[in-house]
């Protein structure tokens, strides 16, 4: 069975069927879309069992010629890095959809069609081993996200949607030029045109070419992450997006940038990457500290969470900049962790917003009194995000800092400050929203988590605990590809 293709085709099939369901049958649409996404998760989970941790290279590879004149192939495959990200995507898709059950009353059919399209694009991106195919998915993802933000977003949705689209596109056209340049060099050296990643890895690129290509790829990926100073699209997009959009933006879309750096930039241009590492590290540290400081002064709950992503993604890119095994493995794991904890935070902000229709922190306070279960889950999310030991965030940040410390002690010293600041803004947020007396009468009647809401947060909490308590299985999956990558970088 072409496993990976089924994973990719399932949401697309879901869209096609969805087109034939009348738009007025909202219940049916919801059940169908959620069912399809859940089936996708069920299809993806056994990958974890069947994935051979001892094998070097890609598994479950599927190869079909796509555009022979260009040498482009429909080439899918998994290694440990993409496995984790595919599983994260497969999990967050249905959760985001389930969280939107009651939130989307208007144009329900279009909403779920966009979610399913987005899911296919995200899955495809992490599976693609052909650069052109990867680029197609990189762009395809933008369109449904544009509509998710633009149609179902908050007040400034029009601005946020086009800003998100244009910013990312500006980066990706540069990335496209980089891809074309690499393709051109590859055609000359390999004597046959190809976009196949393993083939392109055989190239011996002169340092000068590596530099140009590295920065072209960097433009595409750094905007996507986003690294400071390309981060200004993020707070708008994340804040204005509907809950499902925010969850998938923060949970998955940001990882496309870091994934791109790890999958393409580092192994393809190792020498240029070594040169660029200090700058990358500095940008990462700036992102960590700047994101944290900005988060401290936010009065908008959702915007605070959005800015915290800048800070946390800074850790992921710092791990990449360290260029050693700890840094890279920690970075990938931290991407998963960030996907879990930030999704939790966005989900909970969304739940609060659905009840109260306000994102202002000042409108809350003392919620623990009326919504103890909500407050408990929020506490887990905050601790997970802040990197409290025994929860997932701690492991990731710790390993990244280990890697950064080995590479350069100063980097680690500055980055540690970010953890302190992170704890500060997150705990302060918790205090202002959950603790104290109930300051607003409007909050008195708020209902606690519903069973459906429990169902969306429980898997994430469980995963946060599981990774925090016993992270070994995840590192085991990452070991081979990371060592392989470090080997390339050291050469």
Residue ranges that bind another protein, judged by CB under 8 A: 66-70, 107, 135-136, 139-140, 142-143, 146-147, 150-151, 157-158, 161-162, 165-166, 169-170, 173-174, 176-177, 180-181, 183-184
Sign of dihedral through CA atoms 131, 229, 305, 285? Answer: positive
Q: How far apart are CA 132 and CA 197, in angstroms?
A: 10
Are 168 and 184 within 8 A, CB to CB?
no
Smallest CA-to-CA distance from 349 within 459, 204, 247 is with 247
Residue-wise over 267-300: b if at least 16 C-beta within 10 A, else e? bbbbebbeebbeebbbbbbbbbbbbbebbbebeb
Question: Taking the complex as a whole, how short is the minimal distance between the CB of residue 282 and another protein, in angstroms?
Answer: 26
Q: How far apart are CA 42 and CA 84, in angstroms?
A: 15
Q: Which is nearer to another protein, 66 or 101 (CB)?
A: 66
Question: Taking the complex as a whole, how short is the minimal distance between the CB of residue 346 and another protein, in angstroms?
Answer: 22
Q: Which is nearer to another protein, 181 or 459 (CB)?
A: 181
Question: Taking the complex as a whole, how short is the minimal distance between the CB of residue 474 and another protein, in angstroms?
Answer: 33
**Distance from the first to the final alpha carbon of the chain:** 38
Q: Which is nearer to another protein, 112 or 146 (CB)?
A: 146
Question: Taking the complex as a whole, how short is the minimal distance between the CB of residue 64 and another protein, in angstroms?
Answer: 11
Any residues with CB less than 8 A from the CB of 428 and at least 6 apart, and which? Answer: 296
Q: Which is nearer to another protein, 158 or 420 (CB)?
A: 158
Q: Which is nearer to another protein, 184 or 454 (CB)?
A: 184
Q: Which is nearer to another protein, 176 or 466 (CB)?
A: 176
Question: Taking the complex as a whole, how short is the minimal distance between the CB of residue 75 and another protein, in angstroms?
Answer: 16
Question: Taking the complex as a whole, how short is the minimal distance between the CB of residue 249 and another protein, in angstroms?
Answer: 18
Q: Can you give the C-alpha Rg of the chain in angstroms? A: 21
Q: Which is nearer to another protein, 143 or 455 (CB)?
A: 143
Specify burial of residue 452 (Cβ count, 10 A radius: 0-12, 13-18, 19+). exposed
Question: Taking the complex as a whole, how short is the minimal distance between the CB of residue 132 and another protein, in angstroms?
Answer: 8
Output the six-digit token pair for 113: 């069609």
Specify burial of residue 55 (Cβ count, 10 A radius: 0-12, 13-18, 19+). exposed
Sign of dihedral through CA atoms 376, 378, 384, 389? Answer: negative
In sequence order, what DSSP letters do the residues of 239-287 get, joined into one string?
HHS-HHHHHHIIIIIHHHHHHHIIIIIHHHSHHHHHHHHHHHHHHHHHH
Q: Which is nearer to another protein, 240 or 397 (CB)?
A: 240
Question: Taking the complex as a whole, how short is the minimal distance between the CB of residue 169 and another protein, in angstroms?
Answer: 5
Q: Which is nearer to another protein, 45 or 158 (CB)?
A: 158
Question: Taking the complex as a whole, how short is the minimal distance between the CB of residue 57 and another protein, in angstroms?
Answer: 27
Question: Taking the complex as a whole, how short is the minimal distance between the CB of residue 5 and another protein, in angstroms?
Answer: 15
Q: Which is nearer to another protein, 121 or 366 (CB)?
A: 121
Q: How far apart are CA 143 and CA 269, in angstroms?
A: 30
Question: Taking the complex as a whole, how short is the minimal distance between the CB of residue 279 and another protein, in angstroms?
Answer: 21
Q: Which is nearer to another protein, 143 or 427 (CB)?
A: 143
Smallest CA-to-CA distance from 455 within 337, 351, 370, 306 is with 351
Give the number of other Cβ atoms within 10 Å of residue 357's Cβ. 9
Going from the C-alpha of 343 to that of each of 92, 269, 328, 346, the distances in angstroms are 8, 33, 22, 5
């Amino acid at each position: 069975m072409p496993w990976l293709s089924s994973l990719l085709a399932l949401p697309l099939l879901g869209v096609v069927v969805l087109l034939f369901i009348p738009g007025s049958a909202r219940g049916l649409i919801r059940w169908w879309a959620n069912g399809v996404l859940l089936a996708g998760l069920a299809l993806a989970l056994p990958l974890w069992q069947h994935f051979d941790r001892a094998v070097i290279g890609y598994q479950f590879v599927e190869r079909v010629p796509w555009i022979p004149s260009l040498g482009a192939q429909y080439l899918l495959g998994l290694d440990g890095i993409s496995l984790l990200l595919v599983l994260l995507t497969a999990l967050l898709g249905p959760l985001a959809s389930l969280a939107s059950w009651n939130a989307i009353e208007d144009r329900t059919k279009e909403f779920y069609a966009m979610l399913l399209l987005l899911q296919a694009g995200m899955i495809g991106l992490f599976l693609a081993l052909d650069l052109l195919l990867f680029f197609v998915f990189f762009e395809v993802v933008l369109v449904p996200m544009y509509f998710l933000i633009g149609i179902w977003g908050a007040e400034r949705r029009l601005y946020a949607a086009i800003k998100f689209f244009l910013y990312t596109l500006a980066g990706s056209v540069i990335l496209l030029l980089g891809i074309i340049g690499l393709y051109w060099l590859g055609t000359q050296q390999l004597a046959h045109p190809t976009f196949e990643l393993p083939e392109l890895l055989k190239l011996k690129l002169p340092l000068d070419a590596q530099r140009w290509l590295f920065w072209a790829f960097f433009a595409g990926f750094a905007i996507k992450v986003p690294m400071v100073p390309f981060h200004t699209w993020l707070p708008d997009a994340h804040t204005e997006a509907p809950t499902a959009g925010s969850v998938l933006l923060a949970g998955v879309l940001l990882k496309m940038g870091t994934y791109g750096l790890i999958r393409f930039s580092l192994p393809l241009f190792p020498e240029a990457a070594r040169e660029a590492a200090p700058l990358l590290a500095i940008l990462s540290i700036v992102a960590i500290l700047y994101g944290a400081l900005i988060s401290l002064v936010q009065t908008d709950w959702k915007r605070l969470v959005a800015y915290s992503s800048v800070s946390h993604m800074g850790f992921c890119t710092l791990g990449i900049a360290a260029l050693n095994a700890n840094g890279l493995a920690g970075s990938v794991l931290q991407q998963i962790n960030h996907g879990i904890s930030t999704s939790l935070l966005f989900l909970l902000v969304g739940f609060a917003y659905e009840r109260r229709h306000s994102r202002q922190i000042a409108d809350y306070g003392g919620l623990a009194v009326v919504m103890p279960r909500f407050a408990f889950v929020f506490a887990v999310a905050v601790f997970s995000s802040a990197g409290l030991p025994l929860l997932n965030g701690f492991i990731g940040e710790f390993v990244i800092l280990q890697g950064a410390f080995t590479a350069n002690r100063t980097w680690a010293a500055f980055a540690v400050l970010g953890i302190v600041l992170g704890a500060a803004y997150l705990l302060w947020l918790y205090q202002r929203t959950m603790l104290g007396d109930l300051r607003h009468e409007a909050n008195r009647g708020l209902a606690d988590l519903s069973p459906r809401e429990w169902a969306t947060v429980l898997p994430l909490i469980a995963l946060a605990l599981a990774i925090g308590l016993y992270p070994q299985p995840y590192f085991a999956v990452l070991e081979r590809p990371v060592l392989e990558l470090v080997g390339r970088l050291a050469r």
